[in-house]
Amino acid sequence: MSHPSTYEPKTGIERWLDSRLPIVRFGADLMSYPTPRNLNYWYTFGGILSFCLAVQIITGIVLAMHYDASGAGAFMSVERGIMRDVNYGWLIRGVHANGASMFFVAVYLHIMRGIYYGSYKAPREVLWLLGCVIYVLMMATAFMGYVLPWGQMSFWGAKVITNLIGALPLVGKPITTLLWGGFSVDDPTLNRFFSLHYLLPFVIAAVVALHIWALHVPGNNNPTGVNVKSDNDTVAFHPFYTVKDGFAIGLFMIMFAVFVFYLPDALGKADNAIPANPLVTPAHIVPEWYLLPFYAILRAIPDKLLGVLALAGSIGMLFALPWLDTSKVKSMRYRPTARLYFFIWIAATCVLGWCGSQEPDGKLFGIESFNFIDYPIMSVTWASRIAALYYFSFFGIMLFLGLSETPLPVPDSLYTPVLKTPVAAPAE
């Protein structure tokens, strides 16, 4: 870690261990990590996400003990075995299935916070890239996990998504065959998805460790985007942020529990309570809510290969963001124009998500209209085309805006705005 260690071994055993494996020092340094004192609640999602990952891994390990990864047995092992016969199986699965959604709620807010406060800018580009890698791994893990109960939506979702890779020229077909373990989605697919679904969370955990490492070298960004300048700008991570994160995790758990105990199926699809049947296609194949914006981008493009590339590009843009945003000012607190474009971007992403949940030819506001490029102008597809155009434009806007905008005055230190607020008494 980058900050000077303040740990002093007090007992003989600690001194002995410290010169051999300084693991106690490592933990102590994590706790004394100097953290900007002005972090608001938007900065608690890192802690919340660590909590989510731990919950998913623990519940997942227990579920795997009762799960049968075979086309003939998967559905029954989940719906009859886990949901009815395993002690508290309904609870463990409820936490795991809803936990995936909670994980994505938290990661989306975490990403939005990162963009708003410019947390991806130098010297935190690697931190941001590792975060993007975690996000992609999360999507892959969640998708494969959704396939495991082997209901209708599991099966057909797997079919649609794996078929996308087949659109790539030359390599598409062989990769798809490799993914399927055959020539269609079947038992071998389910088995490899189960294997990978068990593996990837540990890969995520490893990248999370790197992400935290990359956080501790430059230190936290903060809502002002102004660098830490003196010890007076920071407080120790423990107890100040352990307790703040702890409180936020408590609130998060309350929302989580509402879903687990009172709305356990609200985020799922009824079709997934029907066992997978390769001969019957469900009327509406839709992914889980957290993948809907990308699904809408995919469907917005009339060409399959271009659609897949746009889908990949929409996530790829996030990776490129540190080099696309040219502004020297980090926080959008002082960038009113960028802030406006950012909020429109959030809105566009929500519109895309809504479009992804609808039929592509669904009418907007019930208005009849003429066809243009396959679909009526007033249709879900055209709404997603316009929203997708803005989604991508936002990154271009960030490129030019940074060169042209006039930001508001930025405070001298991150502590200055704190001192101005009447309620806060200066420390020390």
Partner 1 sequence: MFNKTVCLAAFAFIGAFGLAGPAAADDAMAPMDVHWSFEGPFGHYDQEQLQRGYKVYREVCSSCHAMNQIAFRNLGDPGAPFYDPKYPNSNDNPKVKAIAADYKVSDVDGDSGDVIKRPATSADYFPSPYANNAAAANANGGAVPPDMSLLVKAREGGAAYIYSVVAKDGVMTPPHGMIVPAGRYYDPYKSGGVIAMPPPLVAGKVTYDDKTPASVDQEARDVSAFLQWAADPKMEERKQTGLAVMIFLIVFTGLLYASYRKIWSDVGH
For partner 1, the binding residues (CB under 8 A) are 37-39, 41-42, 76, 79-80, 83-84, 90-91, 94, 101, 105, 108-109, 112, 116, 235, 239-240, 243-244, 246-247, 250-251, 253-254, 257-258, 260-267, 270-271, 273-274, 283-284, 286, 289, 292, 332, 339, 343, 346-347, 350, 353-354, 356-359, 361-362, 415, 418-419, 424-427
Cα separation, 267 vs 146, in Å, equals 12
Helix or strand (DSSP H, E) at 372 = strand 371-372
Sign of CA dihedral 423, 331, 46, 56: positive
In this structure, what token pair is assigned to residue 6? 């303040």
**Given the complex with partner 1, which of 25 and 96 has the nearer CB atom?**
96
**Least separation, in Å, of the C-beta of 62 and partner 1?**
16
**Given the complex with partner 1, which of 130 and 235 has the nearer CB atom?**
235
Cα separation, 131 vs 303, in Å, equals 30
**Least separation, in Å, of the C-beta of 202 and partner 1?**
28
In this structure, what token pair is assigned to residue 343? 């909020």
Cα separation, 131 vs 261, in Å, equals 31
**Given the complex with partner 1, which of 181 and 264 has the nearer CB atom?**
264
**Given the complex with partner 1, which of 11 and 87 has the nearer CB atom?**
87
**Least separation, in Å, of the C-beta of 355 and partner 1?**
10
**Given the complex with partner 1, which of 67 and 198 has the nearer CB atom?**
67
**Least separation, in Å, of the C-beta of 363 and partner 1?**
8
Helices and strands: H and E segment counts in the chain: 15, 4
A 10 A CB-CB count for 349 gives 23
A 10 A CB-CB count for 99 gives 22
**Given the complex with partner 1, which of 176 and 327 has the nearer CB atom?**
327
**Given the complex with partner 1, which of 8 and 361 has the nearer CB atom?**
361
**Residue 57 CB partners (closer than 8 Å, separation 6+):** 201, 202, 205
**Least separation, in Å, of the C-beta of 249 and partner 1?**
8
**Given the complex with partner 1, which of 373 and 427 has the nearer CB atom?**
427
Residue with tokens 């071998």: 188
**Least separation, in Å, of the C-beta of 234 and partner 1?**
11
Across 96-212, the runs of DSSP E, i.e. the strands, are none
CB 353 within 8 A of CB 292: yes
Backbone angles phi, psi at 36, to 5 degrees: -55, 140
CB 2 within 8 A of CB 217: yes
**Least separation, in Å, of the C-beta of 274 and partner 1?**
5
Q: What angle, 0 to 180 degrees and rounded to 10, lies between the N-to-C axes of helices 172-180 and 152-165?
A: 150
By C-alpha distance, which of 245, 246, 239 is closest to 32? 239
**Least separation, in Å, of the C-beta of 283 and partner 1?**
6
Backbone angles phi, psi at 375, to 5 degrees: -130, 150
**Residue 137 CB partners (closer than 8 Å, separation 6+):** 200, 203, 204, 207
**Given the complex with partner 1, which of 116 and 382 has the nearer CB atom?**
116
**Least separation, in Å, of the C-beta of 288 and partner 1?**
9
**Least separation, in Å, of the C-beta of 419 and partner 1?**
7
Backbone angles phi, psi at 300, to 5 degrees: -70, -25
**Given the complex with partner 1, which of 119 and 176 has the nearer CB atom?**
119
By C-alpha distance, which of 104, 144, 60, 85 is closest to 267? 104
